[in-house]
Amino acid sequence: MTDAPKKRSPPTRRAKAPPTDPASLPLSRVQTVVAHRPLSVLEVQDSADLDALLLDTRLAGQIVSRLGPTFALLTPGSEKAVLEALRKAGHLPRVVGG
């Protein structure tokens, strides 16, 4: 008596590679207009200025992200440190609001 041939199990599916598409990351934008306040933003006249500032280690640590070519979002509560770093670097920043 021979054993019944074993049923061949279906080949195991190879696990999918983790998605790397940014669209699948949980950073989707808003569905309706939303106001965010209070935030602090650094604005430059020339985008090359912001490129240079992001290379400055004293300042880069206080920047959350670049919002556009000439705008950057500052970490909350870092305004004083940012102004000090800018002044030490020889800039004369204009301060608006606050």
**Applying CB under 8 A, which residues contact other proteins?**
18-20, 24-27, 29-46, 49, 57, 60-65, 67-68, 71, 73-76, 78-80, 82-83, 86, 91-98
The pair phi, psi for residue 65, each rounded to 5°, is -165, 165
Pick 14 or 36: Cβ nearer other proteins: 36
For residue 19, what are its two tokens? Answer: 């998605």
The pair phi, psi for residue 68, each rounded to 5°, is -170, -175
Least Å distance, CB 1 to other proteins, is 46
Pick 41 or 51: Cβ nearer other proteins: 41
For residue 72, what are its two tokens? Answer: 């950057």
Least Å distance, CB 24 to other proteins, is 7
Helix (H) or strand (E) holding 74: strand 71-74
